[in-house]
Amino acid sequence: MTSWWHRQRVALIALLVAVVAVVGVHVWFDVLPASTDDTAVIEARNGSAEIAGQSLALDSARWDEFDAPAGSRTLSIRIESGGGPDATTCGLFTLAEAGGARVWSNARSVLDVPFDAGESFCQEESGPYVILAVFLLPDDAEGPFVLEIPGDGEVARFPVEL
């Protein structure tokens, strides 16, 4: 008299295959992370890059140009843009620590920055102009940093050495 396992082997194998298939489908669709963001990253060469239809060049980075509360200081970054017929607007400027995880955004709205010191964003200008981005950094953020400027589905990265 054969054992129950032997008699049911076809059904048991089918059950095992079905379990593996169901678990696999569940893990594939519901557990594994979705595909990450694939925006093209443009690394700046010699401090300049083409983004948002214009040529941007990192001009200067200066500490403490504006008043900041105790324990923090400002970092003003000036970017020269050639403008041009294809110039479009770009997104939010962000400054990230090259080695760490912290990310800062343009703090002009909370600091006393004169309106005519430079543009806040890329403009659709035909001629050259200057963009001024001011970041409020704590005293323990020393650099080096990376400035990211998004535009037109791409992101331009400028290393900022101080």
CA distance 55 to 134: 20
Of 20-28, 51-59, 131-139, 151-159, the segment contacting another protein by CB under 8 A is: 131-139
Q: Residues in contact with another protein, total (CB under 8 A)?
A: 20
114-145 exposure pattern, b = at least 16 Cβ within 10 A, e = fewer: eeeebbbebbeeeeebebbbbbbbeeebebeb
Of 6-14, 22-30, 39-47, 62-70, the segment contacting another protein by CB under 8 A is: 62-70
- Contact between 30 and another protein per CB under 8 A: no
- Contact between 48 and another protein per CB under 8 A: no
Of 48-56, 63-71, 78-86, 119-127, the segment contacting another protein by CB under 8 A is: 63-71
Distances (CA, A) of 28 to 15, 21, 105, 123: 20, 10, 36, 44
| Least spacing, CB of residue 90 vs another protein, in Å | 15
Place of tokens 């995880």: 101
Would you give the DSSP letter of residue 9?
Answer: H
- Contact between 71 and another protein per CB under 8 A: yes
- Contact between 156 and another protein per CB under 8 A: no
- Contact between 94 and another protein per CB under 8 A: yes
CA distance 3 to 120: 80
Which amino acid is located at 58 in the chain?
L
- Give the chain's largest Cα–Cα span: 96
- Contact between 69 and another protein per CB under 8 A: yes
Residues that bind another protein (CB under 8 A): 68-72, 92, 94, 101-105, 107, 109-110, 136-138, 140-141
